[in-house]
Structure 1
Amino acid sequence: MKVQSQRKGRSVAARRPPNRREQIRVAATELFLEHGYHNVSVTDVAGALGISASALYHHYRNKQDLLFHAVLSGLHTVDSLIQEAPGLDEALRSLAVLVTGPRKVFAAWEREARNLDGSQREAIRDHEAEAVAHFGLLLRDARPELGPDDVELVARAVLGALGSRGRHRIRLPRRRHEQLMYRLGSVVAHCPLSTGESGDGQPGARSHAPMAAGLRVPRRDQILTEAIRLFDERGYQSVTVADIGESAGIVASGVYRHFPGKVDLLVGATNRGGERIRAAAEQALLQAADPRAALKLLLRAHIDISVENAHLIGILANERDQLPEKERTALRRVQAAYLDVWLQALSTLRPVQDPAELKIVIHATHAMTSFVVRSPRISPRPDLRERLAELAAHLLLDR
Structure 2
Amino acid sequence: MAARRPPNRKALIRSAATELFLERGYHNVSVADVAEALGITASALYHHYRSKQDLLLHAVLGTLDSVDALVREAGDLDEALRSLAALVTGPRSAFAVWEREARNLEGAQREAIHEREAEVVAHLVPLLRAARRELGGPEAELVARAVFGVLGSRSRHRLALPRRRDQQLMFRLASAAAYCKLSEAGRPAGTGPAAPGAGLRIPRREQILTEAIRLFDERGYQSVTMADIGEAVGIVASAVYRHFPSKTDLLIAAMNRGGERIRAATEQGLGQAKDPREALELLLGAHIAVSIEHRHLVGILTNERDQLPDKERTAFRRFQADYQDVWVQALGAILPEREPTELKIIIHAVHAMIYFVVRSRIADQWPDLAQRQSELGMAVLGKA
TM-score bucket of the superposed structures, by smaller chain:
over 0.9
Q: Could you tell me how far apart the structure 2 residues matched to 1:345 and 1:381 are?
A: 28
Structure 1: 4+ residue segments shifted above 4 A: 202-207
CA deviation after TM superposition for structure 1 residue 207, in Å: 4.9
Which of 124, 145, 162 aligns to 2:151? It is 162
Contact between 2:70 and 2:80, CA under 8 Å: does it hold in 1? yes
Which of 209, 213, 217 aligns to 2:202? It is 217
1:152 to 2:137 alignment: no
Q: Could you tell me how far apart the structure 2 residues matched to 1:269 and 1:281 are?
A: 18
Q: Could you tell me how far apart the structure 2 residues matched to 1:206 and 1:278 are?
A: 24
Contact between 2:266 and 2:287, CA under 8 Å: does it hold in 1? no
Contact between 1:205 and 1:307, CA under 8 Å: does it hold in 2? no
Deviations 1:71-112, CA, capped at 9 Å, x for gaps? 000000111110000110100000000000124322111211
Corresponding residue of 1:106:
95
Q: Could you tell me how far apart the structure 1 residues matched to 2:363 and 2:261 are?
A: 24
Corresponding residue of 1:186:
175
Contact between 1:104 and 1:166, CA under 8 Å: does it hold in 2? yes
Which of 279, 290, 297 aligns to 2:264? It is 279
Which is higher, the Rg of structure 1 or of structure 2?
A: 1
Mind listing any 5+ residue stretches in structure 2 that lack a counterpart?
A: none
Deviations 1:135-159, CA, capped at 9 Å, x for gaps? 0111111111111110110000000
Q: Could you tell me how far apart the structure 2 residues matched to 1:102 and 1:50 are?
A: 23
Corresponding residue of 1:299:
284
Q: Could you tell me how far apart the structure 2 residues matched to 1:363 and 1:163 are?
A: 10
Corresponding residue of 1:41:
30
Which of 128, 132, 143 aligns to 2:117? It is 128
Which of 263, 275, 298 aligns to 1:313? It is 298
Which of 20, 37, 46 aligns to 1:31? It is 20
Corresponding residue of 2:10:
21
Percent of residue pairs identical:
66
SS of corresponding position for 1:162? helix
Q: Could you tell me how far apart the structure 1 residues matched to 2:24 and 2:77 are?
A: 35
Corresponding residue of 1:346:
331
CA deviation after TM superposition for structure 1 residue 284, in Å: 3.1
| CA pair 250-120 structure 1, distance change in 2 beyond 3 A | same
One-letter amino acid matched to 1:139: L
CA deviation after TM superposition for structure 1 residue 28, in Å: 1.2
SS of corresponding position for 2:364? coil
One-letter amino acid matched to 1:217: I
CA deviation after TM superposition for structure 1 residue 353, in Å: 1.1
State the TM-score, normalizing by the size of structure 1. Answer: 0.92
SS of corresponding position for 1:379? helix
Deviations 1:372-391, CA, capped at 9 Å, x for gaps? 01112233311111111000
CA deviation after TM superposition for structure 1 residue 164, in Å: 0.2
Contact between 2:192 and 2:367, CA under 8 Å: does it hold in 1? no
Deviations 1:250-286, CA, capped at 9 Å, x for gaps? 1111111110011111111111111111222322333
CA deviation after TM superposition for structure 1 residue 204, in Å: 8.7
| CA pair 302-207 structure 1, distance change in 2 beyond 3 A | farther
Which of 229, 235, 249 aligns to 2:234? It is 249
1:334 to 2:298 alignment: no
Q: Could you tell me how far apart the structure 1 residues matched to 2:283 and 2:191 are?
A: 19
CA deviation after TM superposition for structure 1 residue 209, in Å: 2.5
Q: Could you tell me how far apart the structure 1 residues matched to 2:328 and 2:201 are?
A: 40
Q: Could you tell me how far apart the structure 1 residues matched to 2:372 and 2:380 are?
A: 12
Q: Could you tell me how far apart the structure 1 residues matched to 2:365 and 2:225 are?
A: 30
Corresponding residue of 1:3:
none
State the TM-score, normalizing by the size of structure 2. Answer: 0.96
Deviations 1:219-255, CA, capped at 9 Å, x for gaps? 1111111111111111111111111111112111111
Q: Could you tell me how far apart the structure 2 residues matched to 1:209 and 1:59 are?
A: 47
Contact between 1:157 and 1:368, CA under 8 Å: does it hold in 2? yes
What is the correspondence of 1:132-143 to structure 2 with a 5 Å cutoff? 132-143=121-132
Which of 188, 192, 195 aligns to 1:208? It is 195
CA deviation after TM superposition for structure 1 residue 58, in Å: 2.4
One-letter amino acid matched to 1:124: I
SS of corresponding position for 2:365? coil
Contact between 2:63 and 2:98, CA under 8 Å: does it hold in 1? yes
Q: Could you tell me how far apart the structure 1 residues matched to 2:171 and 2:154 are?
A: 12
Corresponding residue of 1:5:
none
CA deviation after TM superposition for structure 1 residue 206, in Å: 7.9
Contact between 1:206 and 1:310, CA under 8 Å: does it hold in 2? no
Deviations 1:338-395, CA, capped at 9 Å, x for gaps? 1110000100110001211110110000000000011122333111111110000010
Contact between 2:193 and 2:367, CA under 8 Å: does it hold in 1? no
Contact between 1:206 and 1:309, CA under 8 Å: does it hold in 2? no
Deviations 1:2-48, CA, capped at 9 Å, x for gaps? xxxxxx22xx11xx443332222122112212222111111111222
Contact between 1:205 and 1:310, CA under 8 Å: does it hold in 2? no
**Aligned pair count?**
384
Q: Once superposed, what is the RMSD of the aligned Cα atoms?
A: 1.9
Which of 7, 24, 43 aligns to 1:54? It is 43
